[in-house]
Structure 1
Amino acid sequence: MELRQRLTPQVGTKVTQKVSVVLAQTMHLLSLSLDDLTAEVETALAQHPSLEIAPERRCPSCGRRLPAEGPCPLCHPPLGRDALEPIVFLADPADFRPPPPTPTEVEDRLLPEETFFAQSTTLAEYVLRQIAPELRPDERPIAAYLLTHLDDDGLLTLSPAEAALHTRASLRQVRQVLRLIQQADPPGVGAASPQEAMLIQLRLLAEIQHPVPPKASEAVQLGLNLLQPSRVSELARRLGIRQSEARDLLDFIRANLNPYPARAAWGDLHQGQEEPWLPHLRPDIVFSLHNGDSNGPLVVEVFAPGLRLRVNPTFRHTTAQVDDHHRAEWQQEIQQATLLLKSLRQRHHTLVRLARLLAREQRDFILRGPRHLRPMTRAAVARRLEVHESTVSRAVSHKTAQLPNGRLILLSDFFDRSLPARAALKALIASESRPLSDTQLARLLSQEMGHRIARRTVAKYRAMEGIPPAHLRQPLHKHRP
């Protein structure tokens, strides 16, 4: 009895420690994006000799890769399921194929709406119209000279000193005019480099009281090459922050900053190339229609690296036959590999539960767009899933989802209360017979669409959508068919 009393706390402590290790590892894996998790799984496979990839199984009907056990979840969904109950399952990331662009998308890529304006107005003219009321007569030649030396990305190709020399103005005057240019649209125009363009955009965001992470400026100053998901560890080390904070910082930069301010409207529209610092993202979750039927259930694929990862049976069997000296080492290897597999399963299970809830609650948003988003908070979802709110936050962070129309969104968009109002604002502006002021738009949003937002908020949302103010939208209307 005394021996049991002495041993029980030790056994309990060991179990608690093991649970804590699994929980910590699960939370870490849950916070990773699909690409980061894939890299982590590949590293684990290289480091753990006990791990292997199980032989591939494919569904004889649809050819889809199958998990280690069980039938095809798409061809053999559970019996007795409600007609609109989402079909949710884990899928191998290798099965993802980007959807082919629709004819409308191809047309949009070749001739976006902004080009109605860009075709008839040069970048220099566009910026000059904005700053002209604030220029003194002696400043106009300086502005004209600076604006004619903007490249198609909106970056300045000469120094203020060179401009002062050619315009015979003082360096102070040139810098004063340049500051006016840099306050114009597109944000960051007139910068000397992509980094400076992003720093200007950070300053403008702060001026409209948009939340800006404390280390954003410092991260931008480190250079675009470091702003890559693959270099998040180095970025965190250089900034003295945690890797999770560095990932959040990269998400903010990708969503809010543009190193080439004018390229979208005045650059080469037919390059078809993404910015080198903004890598193409594979979605973590894909929502699609079952057999293309909009009245049928949603099919939800949660891409999960390591689905066929397992402990090698031969390695496990051989462990019992080696000498005592090596057995402990091999057993520890198997234990570590098993803990990793358990953490992966828990991570995948949490994402599946979240994806199923989103498919149930946000079907209209998934199928019909942002105006149909239902207000939802992470705290409410956590209560529904019976997990901590921080678990939901980790499950959402750094994740993307592909909608049935092929559009890629952030998983955090499901919790963005501004989306319906921003979609309504875009619809209002698209249908206006003449450009409406922000005050008029705020009134219409409130009276006709139920979105009670202030004029300042309208201006913020308009800027987020890349829509110019009313007095600069007039040329768009003139050139629309």
Structure 2
Amino acid sequence: MLKQNLQQKLLQKLSPQQIQFIKLLQVPTVSLDTRIKEELEENPALEDISLTNLNEPEEQYPDRDPDEDTYNSDDEKGEMDEFNIDDYLQDDSVNDYGSRYDQNGDDEDERKEIPIAVQSSFFESLQAQLDLLPVSDKDFAIGKQIIGSLDDDGYLRRPIMSLTDDLAFSQNVMAEDEEVEDMLKVIQSFDPAGVGARSLQECLLIQLRKKDPNDLIIKKAIIVVEDYLDEFTRKHYDKLERSLNMNSIELRGVVNEILKLNPKPGDSNEVSTKQMQVIPDFHITNNDGFLMLTLNSKNAPELKVSRSYQEMFQHYDKASQKDKKLKEAVQFVKQKLDSAKWFIDAIKQRQQTLLKTMNAIMQYQYDFFLTGDDKNLKPMILKDIADRIGMDISTVSRVANSKYVQTEFGTFLLKSFFSEAIQTESGEEVSNKEVKKILEEHIGKEDKRHPLADEKLTDILKDAGYNIARRTVAKYREQMNIPVARLRKEL
């Protein structure tokens, strides 16, 4: 049975401009330049003033002040008179701007290529070593399959039977499990040592067996990894001394030898490529006790709406005869002009929001930015800053989660300045980062042969006036990636 009902709903919808601003706000500085370049490519009505000034020969504008945004209207009117709207509408490379390009229009001399370092990858290095071996075509195919089956850490996680099936179905190579096993041992002899292992134990043993077999420390290290790996990882050193009939000095030599080994041999050639580049969004300098906040210049690009597109729109809009093609052209130009204006406004709004938020954080944590001491950090949550600047908590969160500030004491993620409050015995509220700093200092100074347990750390904090529970101490320790006392023990 059909019925008609009236109901009221309260909905909140974001305009395209608001959505664009939100997306730009959470983009860090390192990615903003790429985002602006994408917009410049997609929208011909948007121009970068710095690039425009570089590309324009100075002799064509002898009277032009480089600091003023001026143009020659007579020249542009002449260009407009020569413009043919039929050619404009029929030219797919212009009408579908951003998806098709004129392959012959770029000047080869003006193309700028950024040089990059050429470095062979982990898998390319293994393949190069395989290419040098005098093996049969069948063994070469098996070796290539094994290399391709390794994970990024250099381990072989797939069973030998699965590799045999892959060779049969994908390469039509009929191989026995024993042949794959033999070729795997060949791969395990490659550099870096430990590659091709099927477990951590096998990885460590491969590396140890490549060392001096007559060294007594190496022999005992092999025994520890083969038979007592679980006790070693749990740092049950007393049990190892009794089982292997060693004193603490001998065991220390064995432990140090094992700790030198690489548990992830595949990462050795990839470390440099995985490092993240951090570009600070803000700079804070101390000028005789007065803090100065500046925004990274990359966050303030010099963008403008194209003058030629504005003139083009005015020319079309004032045309006496408006057929269908002309209306389409006017609509296209107007859409690009509106998009360019929205993007420029969103960039400016982004700059204002970033500065407003960072200035509030700087004022709130003024003592920290003067000294760089974590103990001077005040308890601060997102709501504290949101109330100060009169913005929503989500806006502050977007700024804090992906932006960095450079100070005299290092570069910090804005999110790191937010912390919960802890009340001392005197009733004063302090940041939990202050407690973490005290924990870190005491753990750093502890006797590693008898590390401090969580109960002892709790007593130390209580003596210093911080009345917190043991489980809270354990939570803070885990947040700082510090293991329990037993795993911090050293010989």
TM-score after normalising by structure 1: 0.49
Q: Which structure would you say has the larger Rg?
A: 2
